[in-house]
Structure 1
Amino acid sequence: MKVFKKIMNAVAAVENCILVVSTLLILILTVGNVFSRKVIHRSWSFTEELVVAVFVLITLMAAALACREGELVNLSLVTDRLPRKLKKPSVILSTVLCIIFTAILFWFGMDKVITQLENGKRTFVLNWPEWIFWSFVPIGSGCMILHFIEYCIDYCTDKIKKEDK
């Protein structure tokens, strides 16, 4: 179990680095494009493609890190009122349902990546292969699945401090 936790800590560290670099990239591209439009009177047409794709990556990576803390999909209106002995089963059920949804997201993301690899579809402005940008979906959903499992294990083994104790 300690090995799994070390691996998950490393995954989370990589996700944090991706988030920092991606956010800086979006900041630089957006500010640079605004500066270019206002001062040089030329727009960087490639920024829209990159910013939209990187926003998808940021959204999925941030969602994965939220899964790690059990904060992504958490409507506690019902679960907070459950008796203590029903809380673990509710977390397990919630985790299973979230993993099923995220696995479907992973499946369709991989299908899209494979289809674009086979078709050789490219982006309009940068002329990059589109599968590169679509690969963010299965990568992010794979990280989410791992973190859902991690949270459930931590919760069920009492490694997470619960408010109701």
Structure 2
Amino acid sequence: MKVYKKLMNALAAVEKIVLVISTLLILVLTVGNVFSRKVIHRSWSFTEELVVAVFVLITLLAAALACREKGGLVSLTLVTDRLPKKLEKPSVILITVLCIVFSAILLKYGMDKVLTQLANGKRTFVLNWPEWIFWSFVPIGAGCMILHFIEYCLDFCLKKDDEKEDK
């Protein structure tokens, strides 16, 4: 379990670095485009493609990190807080399974889209980059979410068992 936790901590660190760099990229591109339009009177047409693609990456990686932090992505606790303590662990396991199923569907369809884009050789309009590059953000984010859902569930279940042993 310690090796798994170290790997997950390393993955989370990489995700945080990618999020910081991606956010800075969006900031620079958006501010630069506004400056260019207002001062030079020329728009950077490529910024829309990049910003939309990077927003997808940011959204999915941030969702993955939210899964890791106290189940933050799925922490609507209106019903689960009212359940008896003995149903707490089964409800977390059920929610985790449902979230993993959703993320697996997202991963599958994201990979299908990436493979289709690779086969077709379709390219973006402005930058003329292969579209599979941008679509690859979907399966990457879904894979990270699956890993972090599993991590949260394991942490929750093992923490509860450790607390019971301490009492």
TM-score range, shorter chain: over 0.9
SS of aligned partner of 2:159: coil
Map Cα deviations across residues 104-163 of structure 1 (whole Å, 9 max, x no partner).
Answer: 0000000000000000000000000000000000000000000000000000001799xx
What is the CA–CA distance in structure 1 between the aligned matches of 2:96 and 2:140, rounded to whole Å?
A: 19
Equivalent residue letter for 1:130? E
1:75 Cα deviation after fit: 1.6
Matching residue of 2:135 = 134
Equivalent residue letter for 1:25? L
| TM-score computed with the length of structure 1 as normaliser | 0.96
Matching residue of 2:112 = 111
Q: Give structure 1 regions of 4+ aligned residues with deviation exceeding 2 angstroms.
A: none
Equivalent residue letter for 2:151? E
Matching residue of 1:95 = 96
Matching residue of 2:12 = 12
**Mean Cα deviation higher: 79-88 or 69-78:** 69-78
Matching residue of 2:2 = 2
What is the CA–CA distance in structure 2 between the aligned matches of 1:136 and 1:104, rounded to whole Å?
A: 15
More helix by share: 2
What is the CA–CA distance in structure 1 between the aligned matches of 2:57 and 2:38, rounded to whole Å?
A: 28
SS of aligned partner of 1:77: coil
Q: How many residues align?
A: 161
* Residue identity (%): 82
What is the CA–CA distance in structure 2 between the aligned matches of 1:152 and 1:107, rounded to whole Å?
A: 22
Q: CA RMSD in A?
A: 1.2
What is the CA–CA distance in structure 2 between the aligned matches of 1:71 and 1:89, rounded to whole Å?
A: 18
Matching residue of 2:65 = 65
Matching residue of 1:85 = 86
Matching residue of 2:159 = 158
